[in-house]
């Protein structure tokens, strides 16, 4: 047997069990694997089986130095085999049911000479904060992965201070009486930030709210982490990350984004067959785009978690139809609350020939297509970062979590986004129609497109050899080899 000093480093990955968290962690796992790390990627039992069903994981294919494990989340199986459990419930349930299995998994790996080298570090999603003590138990570095933008990173660090300063909601009227527009002028590197831009978990009148308490603990465990990895790049978020490093005395932060682009730098990637999409990709959409003129298509996708009411679905559809622009709209099976996402026959007839409705596709491939001229998005961080890297301007319709922060920065700092204004006293369909026309035809849309192309160049340079994200990754690899708990 090889001596301990000759063994490969072994990183065990623990993502939050949601699509938008798993994907960037998979990219990180792949690029570490390309640098000689043995990888154990841990899914929940439900997600693992679901990914096998969709073909994202092929259990018959063995890849040297890269393996999957599963831990229970304790939730009942959905009646619909294609339905996904609520990601928040799944995360909270892992805290009760999955950690004992994770401990046993690490013990098994460390005691089994045939199961790969001993675990040398744990790379966990920042939202899997309850796993933080495991690093102490096994004497391995606890490396936290932050899956959002720098603004949200700073925002989460200040939730506790917001409460201490008395900014917690007094009553439900705070949602509608203008209180959300309150400017917070004391958070470093974020001038002009408002309550409405901060993580939506603060929007509660209950000081004991579960998600509020959870968010505070996420930030607290970040301060204890051996290192923090962020899926962003320096030119986009440098000032904020530096301010956070200074204020909270963070010793090791690594900006590696966009991770999907850094992952594409891997030569002869033998992990191309390993994916992390919860839904099967419909590649016919690329063939449809090939027939459409450049910069004319509005691409629409609300991500993997956002949910519309049936009325919102109807209003949005007709706003899209009335804009008279060709569009591609990805509609998940669970996009509409309380029922299936069925569109009216009149809408389908009205948009026949200029609209494509699909279930799911490789989003980055769509955004890179020359026919796509704009992206109507919920502003999840993965979607926002992919849009930046592709140089596609965004129409922003954020729902919850960190999406409001991403929207704020796209619209007021980066200049490549425009929010669909919910305060305008017209119908929802008219707001959608007007925003699409401004994006695709108006002067503001032209300016957004110029800014989007500038950020595209910066994002692509970040991951090139010698670029800041590439250099940061080299530093991470070297540090992980010597890092101690």
The per-residue pLDDT for range 210-228, each reduced to its tens digit, is: 899 999 999 999 999 999 9
- What is residue 236's DSSP assignment? H
The per-residue pLDDT for range 347-403, each reduced to its tens digit, is: 999 999 899 998 878 899 999 999 999 999 999 999 999 999 999 999 999 988 999
Task: Please name each of the domains of the chain with its CATH number.
Answer: 9-155+214-275+462-482 (3.40.50.2000), 284-460 (3.40.50.2000)
Per the rule left: phi > 0, alpha: psi between -120 and 50, beta: everything else, 271 is alpha
Mean pLDDT, rounded, of the chain: 89
**Whether the predicted pLDDT of 5 surpasses 60:** no
3-state secondary structure of 141: coil
**Whether the predicted pLDDT of 79 surpasses 60:** no
CB atoms within 10 A of CB 356: 20
Q: What is the percentage of the chain residues whose pLDDT exceeds 90?
A: 67
For range 256-282, the mean pLDDT = 80
The per-residue pLDDT for range 130-169, each reduced to its tens digit, is: 899 999 999 999 999 999 999 999 999 999 999 999 998 9
Output the DSSP codes for 379-401.
--HHHHHHHHHHT--EEE---ST
Half-sphere exposure of 441 (CA within 13 A, CB side): 9
| 72-86, 185-199, 318-332: least confident range | 72-86
CB 233 within 8 A of CB 255: yes
CA 339/CA 312 separation, integer angstroms: 13
E strand map for 34-105: 38-44, 66-71
The per-residue pLDDT for range 388-440, each reduced to its tens digit, is: 999 999 999 998 899 999 999 999 999 999 999 765 556 889 999 999 999 99
Among 112, 104, 89, CA closest to 42: 104
Residue 422: predicted pLDDT: 64
Q: Are strands 253-255 and 10-14 parallel, antiparallel or unpaired?
A: unpaired
Sheet hosting strand 227-230, strand order edge to edge: 66-71, 38-44, 10-14, 121-125, 142-146, 227-230, 253-255
**Statement: the pTM of the whole predicted model exceeds 0.85:** yes
| 31-35, 36-40, 69-73: least confident range | 69-73
Residue 4: predicted pLDDT: 43
**Whether the predicted pLDDT of 1 surpasses 60:** no
The continuous run of DSSP H or E covering 375 comes out as strand 372-377
The residues carrying an active-site annotation are: 21, 125
Residue indicated by tokens 């000479």: 113
- What is residue 416's DSSP assignment? -
Among 235, 333, 10, CA closest to 143: 10
CB 410 within 8 A of CB 385: no
**Whether the predicted pLDDT of 326 surpasses 80:** yes
């Amino acid at each position: 047997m090889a001596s301990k000093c000759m063994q490969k480093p072994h990183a065990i990955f623990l993502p939050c069990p949601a699509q938008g968290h798993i994907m960037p962690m998979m990219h990180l796992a792949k690029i570490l694997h390309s640098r000689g790390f043995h990888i154990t990627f841990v899914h929940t039992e439900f997600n693992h089986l679901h990914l096998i069903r969709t073909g994202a994981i092929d259990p018959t294919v063995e890849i040297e130095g890269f393996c999957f494990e599963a831990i229970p989340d304790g939730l009942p199986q959905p009646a619909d085999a294609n339905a996904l459990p609520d990601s928040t419930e799944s995360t909270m349930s892992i805290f009760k049911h999955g950690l004992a299995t994770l401990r046993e998994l690490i013990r098994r790996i460390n005691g089994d000479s045939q199961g790969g080298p001993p675990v040398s570090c744990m790379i966990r999603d920042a939202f899997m904060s309850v796993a933080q003590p495991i690093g102490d138990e096994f004497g391995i570095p606890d490396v936290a992965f932050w899956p959002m933008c720098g603004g949200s990173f700073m925002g989460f660090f200040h939730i506790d201070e917001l409460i201490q300063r008395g900014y917690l909601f007094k009553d439900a009227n705070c949602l509608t009486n203008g209180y959300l527009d309150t400017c917070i002028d004391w958070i470093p590197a974020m001038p002009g930030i408002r309550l409405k831009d901060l993580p939506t978990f603060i929007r509660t009148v209950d000081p004991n709210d579960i998600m509020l308490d959870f968010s505070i603990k996420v930030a607290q465990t970040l301060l204890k982490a051996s290192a923090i990895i962020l899926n962003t790049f320096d030119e986009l978020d440098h000032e904020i990350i530096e301010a956070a490093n200074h204020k909270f005395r963070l010793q090791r932060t690594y900006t590696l984004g966009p991770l999907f682009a850094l992952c594409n730098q891997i030569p002869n990637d033998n992990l191309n067959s390993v994916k992390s999409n919860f839904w099967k990709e419909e590649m016919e959409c690329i063939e449809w785009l090939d027939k459409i003129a450049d910069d004319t298509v509005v691409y629409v996708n609300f991500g993997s978690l956002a949910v519309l009411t049936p009325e919102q679905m109807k209003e949005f559809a007709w706003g899209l139809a009335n804009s008279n622009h060709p569009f591609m709209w990805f509609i998940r099976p669970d996009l509409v609350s309380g029922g299936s996402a069925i569109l009216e026959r009149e809408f389908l007839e009205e948009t026949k020939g200029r609209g494509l409705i699909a279930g799911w596709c490789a989003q980055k491939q769509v955004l890179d297509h020359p026919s796509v001229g704009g992206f109507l998005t919920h502003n999840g961080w993965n979607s926002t970062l992919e849009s930046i890297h592709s140089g596609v301007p965004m129409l922003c319709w954020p729902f919850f979590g960190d999406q409001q922060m991403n929207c704020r920065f796209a619209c007021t700092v980066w200049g490549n986004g425009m929010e669909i204004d919910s305060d305008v006293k017209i119908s929802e369909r008219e707001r959608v129609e007007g925003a699409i026309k401004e994006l695709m035809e108006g002067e503001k849309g032209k300016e957004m497109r110029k800014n989007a192309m500038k950020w595209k160049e910066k994002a692509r340079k970040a991951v090139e050899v010698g670029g800041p994200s590439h250099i940061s990754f080299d530093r991470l690899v070297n540090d992980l080899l010597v890092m101690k708990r």
